[in-house]
Amino acid sequence: MSFETIIFTKENNIALIQFNRPKALNALNNQLFDELDQALDQVAADADIRVLVLTGAGEKAFVAGADIVELSRMTPLQGKKFSRKGQNVFSKIENLPIPAIAAVNGYALGGGSEAALACDFIYASEKAVFGLPEITLGLIPGFGGTQRLARLVGTNRAREMVFTGKNITAQQAYEFGMVNQVCASEALMDTVMKTAGVIASRGRASLRAAKEVIHNGTNVDLETGCRIENDAFGLTMASEDAKEGTAAFLEKRKPQFKGT
Ligand code: CO8
């Protein structure tokens, strides 16, 4: 299926989705959310894909936020529905059966930061800019940003970013624990693809279990989290991939994971 607002490709067990609305710095509109939603369904259903990378087409922006032109024409009720739609699509990234990496190549403002935060981790170009400037528009973040940012960097840092609407650099985002690695801009995609390649060499069944356990355990007490881990561990022990992985170690060869 071809899309107009995103570019969706796959190679070597890695899916790549590029936000692609160059005239609006890849801003998120209704069409983009619909297309992203469909692409994510394809990613989830494709047993060959073991990791997803999200980035922005072009050099300037990852995503410069929700489309302010579209937003300005919405009634409050339409705006609320749009916010829910964005939340649902970003939750879909969070609940994919495979890890998602954000490769933030430029402006990641408002909905752009929120998209990156829905991924499992973020690598950023040294030129990347993060921020939740919705307050400067008389709004608040509406695609899960207040919740994910606070959980990731702590409530006080999140409060400061949301209340001031000020942008932060990639380096500051790294220091906040929001970004895992800052790269020279020309090295960003190679660095991300290298990490994606390592992840893609692992088994899809254990990647899914690991992702689910970390996600589901984040907001519960430690004991409950350990029980969640224990249940998932039992399931991965019963998988073909676990038999293959342990056999390959003992036979001193590389495992061939099938994702079952
Ligand atoms: N929406 C629509 N168009 C945009 C957006 C956007 N978010 N950002 C940039 N554009 C357009 C510009 O209007 C401009 O178009 P044109 O050439 O036709 O005038 C083009 O992209 C290039 O942008 P600039 O000329 O502004 O480029 P600069 O390099 O001067 O500035 C910036 C780049 C700093 C990124 C600047 O464009 C900017 O500040 N953009 C807006 C950033 C922003 O405020 N984002 C938050 C949006 S609100 C949001 O994300 C809410 C999420 C929750 C919503 C809940 C649902 C209701």
Listed by start position, the domains of the chain span 6-200, 203-251
Tokens representing 130 are 């993060």
- Our answer on whether the CB atom of 109 is closer than 6 Å to any ligand 1 atom is yes
Task: Report the pLDDT averaged over residues 126-141.
Answer: 98
DSSP 257: -
Distance between CA atoms of 25 and 10, rounded to whole angstroms? 23
Task: Please name the residue whose Cα sits nearest to atom 37 of ligand 1.
Answer: 64
Amino acid 259: pLDDT: 79
For the entire predicted model, the pTM comes to: 0.96
**Mutate which of 30, 62, 68, 168 for ligand 1 pocket (most atoms within 8 A of beta carbon):** 68
Distance between CA atoms of 169 and 184, rounded to whole angstroms? 13
For the domain 6-200, what is the CATH superfamily, name and number?
2-enoyl-CoA Hydratase; Chain A, domain 1 (3.90.226.10)
DSSP 258: -
Amino acid 131: pLDDT: 98
- The pLDDT tens digits for 47-81 are 999 999 999 999 999 999 999 999 999 999 999 99
Task: Report the pLDDT averaged over residues 220-225.
Answer: 97
Q: How confident is the model at residue 232 (pLDDT cuts 50, 70, 90)?
A: very high
What's the distance, CA 123 to chain centroid? 10
Residue 209 has pLDDT above 90, yes or no: yes
Mean pLDDT of the chain: 97
Burial class (CB in 10 A: 0-12, 13-18, 19+), 198: exposed
Amino acid 216: pLDDT: 94
In this structure, are strands 51-56 and 14-19 parallel, antiparallel, or unpaired? parallel
Distance between CA atoms of 214 and 96, rounded to whole angstroms? 13
In percent, the amount of the chain with pLDDT more than 90 equals 97
Which atom in ligand 1 lies closest to the alpha carbon of residue 83? 56
- The pLDDT tens digits for 90-122 are 999 999 999 999 999 999 999 999 999 999 999
Distance between CA atoms of 28 and 116, rounded to whole angstroms? 13
- The pLDDT tens digits for 158-195 are 999 999 999 999 999 999 999 999 999 999 999 999 99
Distance between CA atoms of 151 and 141, rounded to whole angstroms? 15
Residue 37 has pLDDT above 90, yes or no: yes
Q: How confident is the model at residue 1 (pLDDT cuts 50, 70, 90)?
A: low
- CA torsion, points 168, 169, 170, 174, in degrees to nearest 10? -60
Which atom in ligand 1 lies closest to the alpha carbon of residue 74? 57
Task: Report the pLDDT averaged over residues 152-158.
Answer: 97
Active site residues: 114, 134
Amino acid 13: pLDDT: 95
Q: What is each CA distance from 175 to 55, 145, 170, 172, 181, in whole angstroms?
A: 21, 18, 9, 5, 10
Amino acid 260: pLDDT: 82
Task: Report the pLDDT averaged over residues 234-249.
Answer: 94
Classify domain 203-251 at the CATH topology level.
Lyase 2-enoyl-coa Hydratase; Chain  A, domain 2 (1.10.12)
Q: How confident is the model at residue 234 (pLDDT cuts 50, 70, 90)?
A: very high
Amino acid 127: pLDDT: 97
Q: H helices of the chain, where?
A: 30-45, 68-72, 76-94, 111-117, 145-153, 155-164, 170-175, 188-200, 204-217, 222-237, 240-250
Amino acid 224: pLDDT: 98
Q: How many A from CA of 24 to the centre of ligand 1?
A: 7
Q: How many A from CA of 21 to the centre of ligand 1?
A: 11
